[in-house]
């Protein structure tokens, strides 16, 4: 646990008592603060009460003598409208923060100054690939015998990790919800993977969404920035981070050839290439790596490679670790091969851009898609559907979703069991049955993990 510093003897309100909220309450108590806990659900309040925390509704019970309100990332604090408790804090002039802000505020205190090699923090943000990039960085470091902890939007809550030991690296996956509100953001290395429309209702549009990601760099002032430059926003951000073309505090990452006197890592036709000062420093063939299929995973590999090079690892050490990376559940996860048909679970493809990248990674696709459609429309899918033999549409609004697929052959299935059964019945050897929903899961499931688990269960049932 990372005890929260700076609130000794003071009252701090904690709003939202899921995984990160309870960890925050414990860390506040460990640092000498009094945590006042609230959740709109009975189960969350019961969990906090069972651990001896005081229940305190910020609206009903007020915010008198409260030093700060700490909110969980899923709770709206601006758009489409602030939660009533956060609105009350704004009205009372009580600072609002989240666990990420408390983490950076507290991490460098205690025995930090006594480390021979100070621990470092790598923070990864972007629209797609954050989890795979973060997990891959941690895997490479583990394989290189570098102590590492993985936390944030993946794995453990940031305040729930152990105090870092000498030379350790803390790898954080950070969502836009987390970067937008944190009052302290000071990573040693910051990573921006890419940007595509997502969570637009929570950020008031695309500009607000990008601004939330950009805060990690603008507020944090990282020692080194690793920026994907395939989109205009990444190019802008990269430009903001340098004093000149040769500034190697920036590592640019792209899916095509990059040129210049700085530090670049590119992926092209399955090959990763590193260039420094115009000269090639390394080249790695990513095509045989089973845990990193497709161009989108090659970009994730390039970002992870850049981080590990910035941390001082040799190219061959990184290449060896790539080969043993198994990938993450629900992200281009090969579930089974039955009768020559591959079954792939990419339930994490919750937006159109992620689904496009999944479709680009496979051939002869029987595509299971649908769910709670997000802003931005489905038109980008049309150009990526060249290898789609047929779409099998699930979700409560499956008929409306299918109408947006244009000329892609489709069948309304409604639920996962029907979709897997129909795709399996029509698949031929060499086909891939791919779950890449291009939509959120909340119309039928609690999470994308639950949706992916249902797909896996239906595939396993095919095997008897």
The binding site for ATP comprises: 126-132
Nearest to 346 by CA among 333, 361, 327, 335: 333
- Backbone φ and ψ for 346, nearest 5 degrees, come out as -120, 55
Cα torsion through 99, 105, 110, 115, rounded to 10 = 100
- State the Cα–Cα distance between residues 29 and 24, nearest whole angstrom: 9
- State the Cα–Cα distance between residues 225 and 52, nearest whole angstrom: 42
333's tokens: 């996860």
Task: Specify whether the CB–CB gap between 368 and 411 falls below 8 A.
Answer: no
Identify any residues that bridge with 432 across adjacent strands, giving them in sequence order: 342, 365
Annotated binding site: 126-132
Measured between alpha carbons, how far apart are the two ends of the chain, in Å? 44
> To which residue do tokens 């950076």 refer?
104
Helix (H, G, I), strand (E, B) or coil at 188: coil
Q: How many CB atoms lie within 10 A of CB 397?
A: 16
Torsional sign, CA 65, 67, 72, 77: positive
363's tokens: 């051939």
Cis omega (within 30 of 0) for bond into 80: yes
- State the Cα–Cα distance between residues 35 and 66, nearest whole angstrom: 10
Torsional sign, CA 134, 135, 140, 145: positive
Alpha-carbon Rg for the chain in angstroms: 23
- State the Cα–Cα distance between residues 370 and 372, nearest whole angstrom: 7
């Amino acid at each position: 646990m990372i005890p929260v510093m700076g609130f000794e003897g003071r009252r701090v309100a904690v709003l939202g008592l899921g995984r990160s909220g309870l960890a925050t309450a414990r860390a506040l108590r460990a640092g000498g603060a009094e945590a006042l806990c609230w959740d709109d659900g009975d189960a969350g309040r019961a969990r906090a009460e069972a651990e001896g925390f005081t229940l305190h509704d910020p609206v009903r019970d007020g915010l008198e003598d409260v030093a700060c309100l700490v909110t969980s990332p899923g709770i709206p604090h601006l758009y489409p409208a602030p939660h009533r408790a956060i609105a009350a804090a704004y009205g009372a002039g009580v600072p609002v923060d989240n666990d990420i802000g408390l983490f950076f505020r507290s991490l460098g205190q205690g025995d930090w100054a006594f480390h021979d090699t100070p621990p470092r923090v790598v923070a990864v943000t972007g629209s797609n690939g954050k989890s795979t990039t973060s997990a891959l960085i941690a895997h490479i470091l583990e394989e290189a015998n570098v102590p590492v902890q993985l936390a944030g939007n993946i794995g453990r809550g940031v305040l729930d990790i152990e105090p870092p030991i000498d030379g350790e690296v803390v790898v954080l996956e950070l969502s836009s919800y987390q970067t937008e509100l944190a009052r302290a953001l000071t990573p040693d290395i910051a990573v921006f993977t890419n940007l595509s429309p997502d969570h637009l209702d929570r950020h008031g549009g695309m500009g607000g969404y990008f601004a939330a990601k950009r805060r990690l760099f603008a507020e944090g002032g990282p020692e080194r920035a690793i920026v994907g430059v395939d989109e205009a926003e990444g190019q802008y951000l990269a430009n903001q981070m340098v004093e000149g073309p040769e500034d190697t505090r920036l590592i640019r990452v792209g899916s095509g050839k990059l040129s210049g006197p700085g530090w670049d890592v590119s992926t092209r036709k399955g090959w990763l290439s590193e260039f420094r000062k115009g000269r090639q420093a390394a080249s790695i063939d990513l095509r045989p790596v089973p845990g990193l299929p497709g161009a989108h995973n090659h970009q994730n590999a390039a970002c992870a490679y850049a981080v590990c090079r910035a941390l001082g690892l040799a190219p061959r050490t990184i290449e060896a670790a790539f080969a043993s990376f198994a990938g993450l559940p629900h992200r281009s996860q090969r579930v089974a091969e039955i009768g020559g048909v591959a079954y792939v679970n990419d339930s994490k493809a919750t937006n159109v851009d992620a689904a496009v990248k999944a479709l680009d990674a496979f051939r002869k696709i029987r595509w299971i898609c649908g769910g709670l459609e997000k802003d931005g429309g489905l038109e980008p899918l049309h150009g990526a559907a060249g290898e789609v033999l047929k779409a099998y549409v699930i979700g409560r609004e499956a008929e409306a979703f299918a109408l947006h697929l244009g000329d892609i052959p489709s069948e309304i299935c409604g639920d996962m069991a029907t979709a897997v059964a129909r795709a399996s019945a029509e698949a031929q050897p060499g086909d891939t049955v791919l779950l890449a929903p291009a939509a959120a899961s909340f119309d039928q499931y609690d999470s994308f993990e639950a949706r992916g688990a249902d797909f896996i269960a239906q595939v396993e049932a095919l095997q008897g």
